[in-house]
Chain A
C-alpha cells in the first residue's frame, strides 16, 4: 500500500485558466514532489511563421498570448526592423512604450485578481478586475480593441494618440494610482491574506539565479534583473524609472513587487504622455527583408521575452524563435511547490503569473523533480519530505489516505 497520494491538478482544473497538468505527490496536506506536464497548447506557431509574410506573422504572434499580446508583437517587430535596418520615428517608439506600459498595468491588475481568487478572496478579485476595466477602456480607446491591440506595424505604429486621449489617459492613471494604493493597503493589512501569502512558495536568491528565474518572480527574490534598464529597447533609456526588487523570497514579496511596479508604470506612463514628441507614425518599410538576424529582449509583464528573427531576402522570415517568460520560470515552480501545502499550490503556481499559451507555442515539459541541490532523485526527495514531516511533529505514515 502506497503512503503517498497522487493528485492530478489539471489539465482541466478550476484553479488553472489554461490547460496544463501538475502531478502532485501528497503526504497528507503536504506536497512531497511535483511533476509538470505541458504541451496542451502546442500550436506550432514557429513553423507557421516561416510560411507567412512579416505582416501576417505579426498578427499570428499577437495571438501567442492574450494578455501580453503587445509584448510579443513589439519584440518581434523590433527584431524585424533591426533585420531591415529601419529606424522608426520617435513618436512611434513613444506610442509603443505607452501601450506596453498600459499592458503591464492591465496584466498586473489581472494578476492581483487571479491571485486573490486562488486564495478564495473573490471580493478583491471582483474589485481589482472592475478597476482593470479602466485601463482596458483606455487601451480600447487608443487601439480599437480591448485585448488584441494590433497597434504595431512594420516601420511604426498604426494609430496616433490625440491630445484629448492624452488627457483621458492621465485622468485614468490618477484613478488607477489611487486604487492601487488602496489595494496595497488592503493586501498588507488584511490578516487572512497575509496569513496565506507570507512564507509561502520560498525561492532563495541563489536558487533563483541558478534556475534562471526572471521577471517579478526573480525580482522578488532579490535578483536585480530588468531588461528595460539592462538592455534598453524603444525609449526606456530616456525614461527615469526604478527597478523594484524585494528580498521577501515568497509570494508576498511577489505581490509587493508587482504592486510597486504598477506605481512605477504609472510614472512611466505620465512621463511618456507628457514628453511624447511630434512626428510621423511610420517610415516606409520594404516588403522583402534582407538576409540578416536580430535578437530582441523585451521586458513583458511576466519577465524577459526573447524573440529571434532571421530574414533571408524574401517576404517571409527564415526563422522566428520566441521564448516566453513562463517557460524560463517553470524550473522554479516545481522547486517552490515541493514541501508546501496542497492549499498553497494554486497561489504558488499563480505567483509566477503563468501563461501556458505563451510557453506552449512549441514546447511541452516533463520536469524531473528538482531538489535542493541540482537534480534530486524522486526517492531521495520523498525521504527528505517524510523526515521533514516527522521533525515537525507529524508522521505521514500514520495517515491512511489512499486505499
Chain B
C-alpha cells in the first residue's frame, strides 16, 4: 500500500474541483431537452410515454399547426424516452446539466 500511497503525494489529484472546473460530459449525455418547433406535428406520443408526466405539448396557433413544448425539469427523469418515441425527431437531449433552481415555478420551462 505504501508504494501506492507515497508517490501520490507528488501526483495530480484524481478529484476535480467541480464548480470551478466544469467536467466534459460524454457525447451522448442525456441532459436538458431541446425542442424543434418546425418538426413537431402534435401527436403527443411523448406526453403519453413520459414516465413522469414531465413534458406537455400545446398548440399555440389557432390557424396553423404550431406547437410549443413545456417541460418540468423537477419531474423530468432524463431517461430520453420522449426522444425515442417522437416519430419526427422533434425532441433531442442536449449536454446541458446543473439545472437546479430555488423555486419550482422556475423549473417549468418552455423549450
A residues apposed to B, CB below 8 Å:
52-53, 55-56, 58-60, 62-63, 123-124, 127, 130, 133, 137, 140-141, 143-145, 148, 150, 153, 158-159, 182, 186, 190
Are the CB atoms of B49 and A182 closer together than 8 Å? no
Are the CB atoms of A55 and B26 closer together than 8 Å? no
Partner of A52, one of B26, B27, B28, B51: B51
Chain B positions 61-87 with a Cβ under 8 Å from a chain A Cβ: 77-81, 84
Q: Report if A59-B1 is in contact (Cβ < 8 Å); known contacts: A133-B14, A145-B78, A158-B84.
A: no
Are the CB atoms of B4 and A127 closer together than 8 Å? yes
Closest 8 CB pairs of A and B: A59-B51, A56-B51, A144-B28, A144-B30, A130-B14, A140-B26, A150-B79, A59-B79
Residue of B nearest to A59 (CB): B51
B67 to chain A minimum Cβ distance, whole angstroms, is 22
CA distance A267 to B18 in the complex (A): 34
B29 adjacent to chain A (CB < 8 Å) = yes
B82 to chain A minimum Cβ distance, whole angstroms, is 11
CA distance A143 to B29 in the complex (A): 8
Given A59-B81, A144-B30, 19 other A-B contacts at CB below 8 A? Answer: A55-B51, A55-B81, A56-B49, A56-B50, A56-B51, A63-B77, A123-B1, A124-B1, A137-B26, A141-B26, A144-B26, A144-B28, A144-B80, A145-B78, A148-B77, A148-B78, A153-B84, A158-B80, A182-B4
Are the CB atoms of B29 and A60 closer together than 8 Å? no
Q: Which residues of B contact A130 (CB under 8 A)?
A: 14
Of B30, B49, B51, B81, most buried by chain A (CB within 10 Å of CB) is B51
Which DSSP category, helix, strand, loop or mixed, fits chain B's interface? Answer: loop
21 residue pairs bridging A and B, Cβ less than 8 Å apart: A53-B49, A56-B49, A56-B50, A56-B51, A58-B51, A59-B51, A59-B79, A60-B51, A63-B77, A137-B26, A140-B25, A141-B27, A144-B80, A145-B29, A145-B30, A148-B78, A148-B79, A150-B80, A153-B84, A182-B4, A190-B1
Are the CB atoms of B5 and A123 closer together than 8 Å? yes
Q: Which residues of B contact A182 (CB under 8 A)?
A: 4
Q: Which residues of A contact B4 (CB under 8 A)?
A: 127, 182
A294 to chain B minimum Cβ distance, whole angstroms, is 22
B10 to chain A minimum Cβ distance, whole angstroms, is 16
Q: Which residues of B contact A148 (CB under 8 A)?
A: 77-79
B9 to chain A minimum Cβ distance, whole angstroms, is 13
Residue of A nearest to B15 (CB): A130
Q: Which residues of B contact A127 (CB under 8 A)?
A: 4
Q: Which residues of A contact B79 (CB under 8 A)?
A: 59, 62, 148, 150
Q: Which residues of A contact B1 (CB under 8 A)?
A: 123-124, 186, 190
CA distance A141 to B1 in the complex (A): 31
Residue of A nearest to B30 (CB): A144
Are the CB atoms of A59 and B26 closer together than 8 Å? no
Q: Which residues of A contact B80 (CB under 8 A)?
A: 144, 150, 158
